[in-house]
Amino acid sequence: MPSVKINKKSTDTDMTPFVDIAFLILSFFIMATKFKPPEPVQITIPNSVSSQDLPENDAVMVTIDSTNRAFFTVLSAKDKSVFDQIIQNVNTSRNLGLTTAEMANFRKTPTVGVPFQELKSLLDLAPEDQAKVTMKGIPISDTNANELIWWIGAAKKAYVDAQRPLKWLIKGDGNSKYPAFEATIAALKKNDEYKYNLVTSLENAPTGTELEKAQRAGKPLPK
Partner 1 sequence: MASIDTSGGDSHKKGPGVKKAKKLSTRVDMTPMVDLGFLLITFFIFTATMSTPKAMDLRMPKDVDDPKKQNEAKESGALTIMLGKGNQVYYYEGQLKVDVGMNNFKQTTFKGIRDIIINKRKEVMSRYVTDPECEAKAKADGKPEGYCRDKDFVVIIKPDQDATYKNTVDILDEMTINGVRTYAMVKILPQEYDLIKATEQSGGNK
38 near partner 1 (CB under 8 A): no
Stretch that binds partner 1, among 73-81, 82-90, 130-138, 189-197 (CB under 8 A): 189-197
Edge-to-edge strands of the sheet including 70-75? 70-75, 59-64, 167-172
163 near partner 1 (CB under 8 A): no
15 near partner 1 (CB under 8 A): yes
Is residue 19 classed as helix, strand or coil in its secondary structure? Answer: helix
Task: Supply the minimum distance, in Å, between the C-beta of residue 222 and partner 1.
Answer: 5
Task: Supply the minimum distance, in Å, between the C-beta of residue 77 and partner 1.
Answer: 16
Query: Could you say which DSSP state residue 168 is in?
Result: E
145 near partner 1 (CB under 8 A): no
97 near partner 1 (CB under 8 A): no
C-alpha–C-alpha distance, residues 186 and 118, integer Å: 23
DSSP per-residue letters across 60-122? EEEEE-TT--EEEEEE-SS-THHHHHHHHHHHHHHT----HHHHHHGGG---B-S-HHHHHHH
195 near partner 1 (CB under 8 A): yes
The closest alpha carbon to 132, from 142, 118, 122, belongs to 122
The closest alpha carbon to 222, from 211, 207, 206, belongs to 211
Q: Residue 22 or residue 77: which is nearer to partner 1 going by CB?
A: 22
C-alpha–C-alpha distance, residues 53 and 199, integer Å: 10
Task: Supply the minimum distance, in Å, between the C-beta of residue 219 and partner 1.
Answer: 8
CB 168 within 8 A of CB 74: no
> Residue 16, Cα to own-chain centre: how many angstroms?
42
C-alpha–C-alpha distance, residues 63 and 6, integer Å: 72
Binding-site size for partner 1 (CB under 8 A) equals 69
108 near partner 1 (CB under 8 A): no
101 near partner 1 (CB under 8 A): no
Site string for partner 1, 50-89 (x = CB under 8 A): xxxxxx--------x-------------------------
Task: Supply the minimum distance, in Å, between the C-beta of residue 129 and partner 1.
Answer: 24
Stretch that binds partner 1, among 115-123, 142-150, 151-159, 167-175 (CB under 8 A): 167-175
Binding site for partner 1 (CB under 8 A): 8-13, 15-16, 18-19, 22-23, 25-26, 29-30, 32-36, 45-55, 64, 169-182, 185, 188-189, 194-202, 205-206, 209-212, 214, 221-223
